[in-house]
Amino acid sequence: MIDIKQHSLYKPMEVDSVLSNIFNIYFKKFGVLFIYSFVAAFIIQMTFYKIGFLELTRLTDPEDLIKMIFEMRKEILIGSIIYFMIYGSLISFLVNYLIKSDIDPKIHIGDILGESVRKYSIHMIFFLILSVLILVVGIFIGVIALIIGSFLAMIYLGTVLTTGGTIIVVEEKNAIDVIGRTFILAHKDFWSALGSVVLFVLMMLLISIVISAIIAIPFAIMFFDNWHETGSIRDLFDTQIYDIGIWSVVLNSLVSAVTYPLYAILSVVLYFKLKYTEDQKTFSVQ
């Protein structure tokens, strides 16, 4: 098992220091995080492209959308399986890399990758699937109670489950044990953890707006070019005009490669914050 006390994040942290640590790590290790995230995202996006998921985004009629989803149920199942496999393996590597490279800077990245896929990826995949199911059930129960209940359930469960990926790597637990462990760990300092997650979500929303604005630039140029070429206002809003084909895969992969590592870093930083608090409380009791 990893000696977490050797890690630089094993220290007391307030909400603001959680966010500062996240972005300090992100920029410090950006190259490795981005490259591996891009490769994984490209495989996922190419799979979605080949299966035909992008066709769903072009439909505006709800009935047509529901009909196509039903017709593509096998493709959606295959795409979902591939997504969880690739994304789970990626998160396993990112979390393992963020921990091992800090404790032992000389460790070879190939060794980290091999260990991540061999030792942690299967547990990470099942944990992600279980987390999604728990979130769906929690949100559904919240909707039955009140609409606001679904939002509260999402925030609560999202906060609790955030550290799960890191627990798999550090404490070497299986997916089912990890679920229970996340609840125990989160409640060692829940309100501080909740504040950290909420601020992180707000930061991600801001980052998403900026990225969306940058991505929209070429489409805005295409819009105004078509404005001069077409004689129909209706044609300007035809999604077929703005179909960039395979380039959509590259574009979506680049966006995902920018954001994927942040979720892994949040898991690691929040785990060490809560684990330090847990150890201090245990020590004070003794």
Which residue range forms the structural domain that includes residue 114?
4-285
Q: For 44-48, which contacts have Cβ atoms below 8 Å and span 24 or more sequence positions?
A: 44/82, 44/83, 44/86, 44/87, 44/253, 44/256, 45/248, 45/249, 45/252, 45/253, 45/256, 46/249, 47/79, 47/82, 47/83, 48/79
State the average pLDDT over residues 149-164. 88
Residue-level pLDDT at 79: 87
Domains identified in the chain, total number: 1
Three-state DSSP at 86 gives helix
DSSP assignment letter at 4: G
Q: Using DSSP, how many helices (H) and how many strands (E) does the chain show?
A: 13, 0
Helix (H), strand (E) at residue 248: helix 247-285
The answer, yes or no, to whether residue 21 has pLDDT greater than 90, is yes
Residue-level pLDDT at 74: 84
How far is 51 from 36, CA to CA, in rounded Å?
Answer: 23
Residue-level pLDDT at 220: 60
Please work out, in degrees rounded to the nearest 5, the angle formed at the alpha carbon of residue 12 by the alpha carbons of 27 and 178. 80
Radius of gyration (Cα) for the chain, nearest Å?
A: 21
- 233 contacts 160 by C-beta, under 8 angstroms: no
DSSP assignment letter at 42: H
The answer, yes or no, to whether residue 216 has pLDDT greater than 80, is no
The answer, yes or no, to whether residue 242 has pLDDT greater than 50, is no
Nearest Cα residue to 222 out of 203, 206, 248, 241: 241
- 161 contacts 191 by C-beta, under 8 angstroms: no
pLDDT band at residue 236 using 50, 70 and 90 as cut-offs: very low
Nearest Cα residue to 159 out of 136, 124, 191: 191
- 236 contacts 226 by C-beta, under 8 angstroms: yes
Mean pLDDT of the residues in the chain: 84
* Contacts (Cβ under 8 Å, ≥6 apart) of 265: 22, 25, 26, 94, 98
How far is 184 from 197, CA to CA, in rounded Å?
Answer: 17
This prediction has a pTM of: 0.85
By 3-state DSSP, what share of the chain in percent is helix, strand and coil, each rounded to 5?
85, 0, 15
* Contacts (Cβ under 8 Å, ≥6 apart) of 35: 257
Residue-level pLDDT at 52: 75
Residue-level pLDDT at 274: 95
Angle subtended by helix axes 30-51 and 15-28, to nearest 10: 80
- pLDDT per position as a tens digit, 37-69: 999 999 998 888 888 776 666 666 677 767 777
